[in-house]
Amino acid sequence: MNLEPEFQRARQALLSTGRRGYQSIIQFSQIALSQGQLIVNCLTEDDADALMQTFGEDLHRIVQQQLPQIATIEIQAEGKTIYPPHPPGCLFWA
């Protein structure tokens, strides 16, 4: 469940910086916050892959610097988990 001020702050932080492609993906994705977890639900699986593989450093840097309350990040596409919850800064996992 999103708490409106916290959600708005998180959305603004996620859109505040980052490369143009990153910002486009975030802008058109659904963002949810729940108990310290950030869920980014992308429009397509290709967007989810691009977010993590090409723009993952942007996302993780922004979360670490501006959203310290976030403990994990999950990347979805069309509501399906593509990249399971992982801590900010963890860009590579098996």
Q: How confident is the model at residue 94 (pLDDT cuts 50, 70, 90)?
A: very low
| pLDDT of 1 over the 80 cut | no
Q: Which amino acid is at 61?
A: R
pLDDT greater than 80 at residue 90: no
Tens digit of each residue's pLDDT (9 = 90 or more) over 44-82:
999 999 999 999 899 999 999 999 999 999 999 999 999
Closest to 77 measured CA to CA, from 33, 46, 31: 46
Q: Which amino acid is at 71?
A: A
CATH of domain 4-86: 3.30.300
- Domains of the chain: which residue ranges? 4-86
Q: Which amino acid is at 74?
A: E
